[in-house]
Structure 1
Amino acid sequence: MAHKPLFLILLLALAAAVLIALPVSAQSPSAQHSALSASPPEVRVMVLDDAIGPAVSDWFVRALEDANDEAAALFVLQLNTPGGLDHSMRAMIRAILDSRVPVAIHVAPSGSRAASAGTYLLYAAHIAAMAPATNLGAATPVELGGGAPARNPAGSGDEDQNAAPDSATALRNKQVNDAVAYIRGLAELRGRNADWAEQAVRQGASLPAEEALEQNVIDLIADDLPALLSQLEGREIELRGQQHTLTLSGHQVRNIEQDWRTGFLAIITNPSVAYLLLLVGIYGLILEFSSPGVGVAGVLGGICLLVAAYALHLLPVSYVGLALIVLGIGLIAAEALSPSFGVLGIGGVAAFVIGSVMLMDTELPAFQIALPVIAAVGTGSLLLVGVIIRLISRSRRQALVSGADTLIGQPAVAIQDFELLGMVRINGELWRARTVAPVHKGQRLQVIGRNGLTLNVEDAS
């Protein structure tokens, strides 16, 4: 009962806190909207100077979601990219199309480019701007491998026109036609030049900033961010099917910095890093299972393998290449466990190197495993096989140090009298022995042969 007054005091304090908070919450949404309206418009600025991959896509999508949640006036992406992965680009475009905040993409500073995937992003943005001496285009899809180029019927005979395309050409045509339909849809949504967009995909066409403005590919040219925001003040755009006027007077600029998650994803989705993590994981588990110890190799290998699996899930991976890598490592391990004098080991190294080259299913240079890394790992694997073969050859040349065959030539002592079969003592062990001459207890003998578990002995004198 002594605790009851204390409980009542806490209850009254909680009730008072709720009553005090009610007037604050009652301001929503009108009072809060007035407070937001009274604050100066905020412009979020993100600088993207890299290939478009999983880490960049995740960073952009999360930053744009935050801008929507906090009702920013404008989201500006300063872009300089050679291109990137298709699924990463499409995730960014979906975020732009769903955004309640206008998105302006500015290809800047001078000398920058919006090539390949960058062109699609420009067409998807509410405002497309470029700095002088920049360019865009070259939007032909290349991610899924080379294949044969699309056939041009012009100048070919009827036989060629009527011939069915091979599988590589058919796949290539499907990729190009899909990309054309996608970028034309974006161009028609934003009221931009859809015919040139198709040329950028089919023919890899490119344009400098001035010509892009003349051909209605972009909306404006601005030297830098202040010039861009000055030109956008009072501009009307279409936002989610409705007309929207940009009000940027007295704006505040908030630069978006990369967080730890983006940095971590950028590291592990580097193809060379993901490749090395995969190898460390597999070799760590093999080491743990082959010679169980304190578990360090197993724990480290398991962590690396899971991180590598997550990274490869985000990258364009050839599962044939991945299978060849696993097969190669398995053959190298088999060489160590059941020696074949190099047949399994060398075959494993060959499968491993071929799989490593094939692992990344893309032609984009930014998402390839560095060849020096493959060469170093392949050379290390070949040296490992050489060491295994050398150790096995050395062990086979060594004299036997255990087993029944090591008893031949050893001295023995008879522990009983016998004429044909009896028992002798060798190195403290009792063995059945056979002799052709009578033997007396305590007589010194010598082992001259073995027949199963029976030793052949004779007098040692």
Structure 2
Amino acid sequence: MNINLCKRVLPLLGLLLVCVWSAPGRAEAWLVDLEGAVGPATADHVVRGLGEAADAGAELVILRIDTPGGLDSAMRDMIKAVLASPVPVLGYVAPSGAHAASAGTYLLYATHVAAMAPGTNLGAATPIQIGSPGIGSLPSGEEDGGAASPSAMEKKIINDAVAYIQSLAQLRGRNAEWAESAVRDGASLAAEDALELGVIDLLAASLDDLLQQADGRTVNLDGTERLVNSAGLAMHHHQVDWRSDFLAVITNPNVAYILMLIGIYGLIIEFYNPGIGLPGVLGAVCLLLALYAFQVLPVSYAGLALILLGIGLMTAEAFAPSFGILGLGGVAAFVIGSVMLMDTQLPGYRIAVPVIAAFAVFSAAICSIALGLILKARKRANVSGVEHLLGQSAIVERVTPEAAWVRLDGELWHAQSEQPLAEQDEVIVDALDGLVLKVTRRPHQ
């Protein structure tokens, strides 16, 4: 009886396990954080987070924003990923005290549903990397109080930014007029005012509140209307992984700058001392990492060329001294190039002055030391062959009836003296007769 029961139950259990295994997992909302300055590392984290959420079958993605802004190229990469996402993206400026300034404003406009927590703000979206104070503070073609009007290039950059954010506003049905003022005038808004003016869609105090309010809204996904089913979703937090952390480190302008210099100096040492290996390997690795960082950073190639010219001139001074002309020119080119290296006015993407000063002093010190050694060598008398042995002292190592042998420069020499010699006597080389040293015994103290 028990055997028959088992025969009936086991197939049912197997069928149940198959159903459980093949059943889709519980729908989730993915939480992706954008914190700090917008750059290559944050863009990589957000873009990969959106892609992984879509692959995992997430119901929606919450992009929690707290940023002062950052690089235009990184911002546009994230916006492209949001616009192409097959999953609804809810932009949420949180927690209280957070802000979506500059690039964060563009990104919030691009999301399918824009929300803010109380006590947050957005705006100040003028492209600040274009130059002087006052640019973008006035409508195009106007001046105020005699302030210098923007140049043609500056107007082009502002107009391009205005057209970009207005296109996002029109796509999502949000306030395009205020978006223009955020770019031209650097306008900012608190969360409550943003909701009132139609800049955002929701004001949510928490993630649960956001999910409840977003439930039932209709969003446009690549031309297709989709209903947001967000109530009661489980939350999956997409953490920053080692790749994004590593990218954040090497794309720090100061770190990239140091890696470049270590790489260049390492290769120089290897070229002038071939066979060591370690400086060359370390230099090559550091230089490749620096070049990878530079391709995603706003690098001025004129600044990079000046740095390379400065290092070349200082190296030339060390090995072909010009009594300071090449060295001073190299230091000047190095410092100017370092200041110009990052082609942006964003504070988070400029090289710190102490770092530049430290490497400039280090390079100048190495150049000075090498120059001093070369000048010192020039003052020495030129000697060749074995003539430099004259006047040196040596120790008698062995005495035979036929001859005495002394050790000098690591070699045994046949020595002759008018005085009797004994082992361990100290002698002075007076002359050289072929391969025989003429020596004088130094008196015992």
Aligned to 2:290: 308
Distance across 2 between alignment mates of 1:196 and 1:428 = 99
Question: Please, which of 316, 321, 324 is the counterpart of residue 339 of structure 1?
Answer: 321
Q: Deviation per CA, 1:113-162, whole angstroms, max 9, x where unpaired?
A: 100000000000001111111111111112354488367544689xx9xx
Aligned to 1:141: 127
What are the residue-to-residue correspondences of 1:4-403 with 2, within 5 Å?
Answer: 35-36=23-24, 39-146=25-132, 149=135, 153-154=141-142, 169-402=151-384
Q: Deviation per CA, 1:98-118, whole angstroms, max 9, x where unpaired?
A: 111000111111111100000
Distance across 1 between alignment mates of 2:251 and 2:144 = 44
Distance across 1 between alignment mates of 2:390 and 2:98 = 83
- Are the aligned partners of 1:148 and 1:169 in contact in 2 as well (CA < 8 Å)? no
Distance across 1 between alignment mates of 2:323 and 2:222 = 69
Q: Deviation per CA, 1:223-242, whole angstroms, max 9, x where unpaired?
A: 12111112112222222222
CA drift at 1:369: 1.1
- Are the aligned partners of 1:41 and 1:250 in contact in 2 as well (CA < 8 Å)? no
- Are the aligned partners of 1:334 and 1:344 in contact in 2 as well (CA < 8 Å)? yes
Distance across 2 between alignment mates of 1:156 and 1:174 = 20
CA drift at 1:408: 12
SS at match of 2:323: coil
- Aligned AA (1:45): L
C-alpha distance 303-156 of structure 1, shift in aligned 2 (>3 A): closer
Q: Deviation per CA, 1:330-360, whole angstroms, max 9, x where unpaired?
A: 0111011101122111211111111111100
CA drift at 1:385: 2.1
Identity of matched residues, %: 55
- Are the aligned partners of 2:92 and 2:115 in contact in 1 as well (CA < 8 Å)? yes
Aligned to 1:17: none
- Are the aligned partners of 2:79 and 2:110 in contact in 1 as well (CA < 8 Å)? yes
Distance across 2 between alignment mates of 1:216 and 1:77 = 19
Q: Which runs of 5+ in 1 are unaligned?
A: 1-23, 410-425, 431-443, 445-461
- Aligned AA (1:136): L
Distance across 2 between alignment mates of 1:219 and 1:390 = 70
Distance across 2 between alignment mates of 1:124 and 1:155 = 32
- Aligned AA (1:74): L
TM-score if structure 1 supplies the norm length? 0.76
- Are the aligned partners of 1:77 and 1:104 in contact in 2 as well (CA < 8 Å)? yes
Distance across 1 between alignment mates of 2:164 and 2:269 = 49
SS at match of 2:128: coil
- Are the aligned partners of 2:315 and 2:367 in contact in 1 as well (CA < 8 Å)? no
- Aligned AA (2:351): I
Aligned to 1:8: none
Distance across 2 between alignment mates of 1:154 and 1:280 = 49
SS at match of 2:382: coil
SS at match of 1:133: coil
Q: Name the Cα RMSD after superposition.
A: 2.9
SS at match of 2:343: coil
C-alpha distance 104-342 of structure 1, shift in aligned 2 (>3 A): same
- Are the aligned partners of 1:144 and 1:361 in contact in 2 as well (CA < 8 Å)? no
- Aligned AA (2:202): L
C-alpha distance 58-289 of structure 1, shift in aligned 2 (>3 A): same
Distance across 2 between alignment mates of 1:143 and 1:397 = 54
SS at match of 1:143: helix
Q: Which runs of 5+ in 2 are unaligned?
A: 1-14, 392-430, 439-445
C-alpha distance 211-428 of structure 1, shift in aligned 2 (>3 A): farther
Deviant stretches of 4+, over 6 Å: 403-409
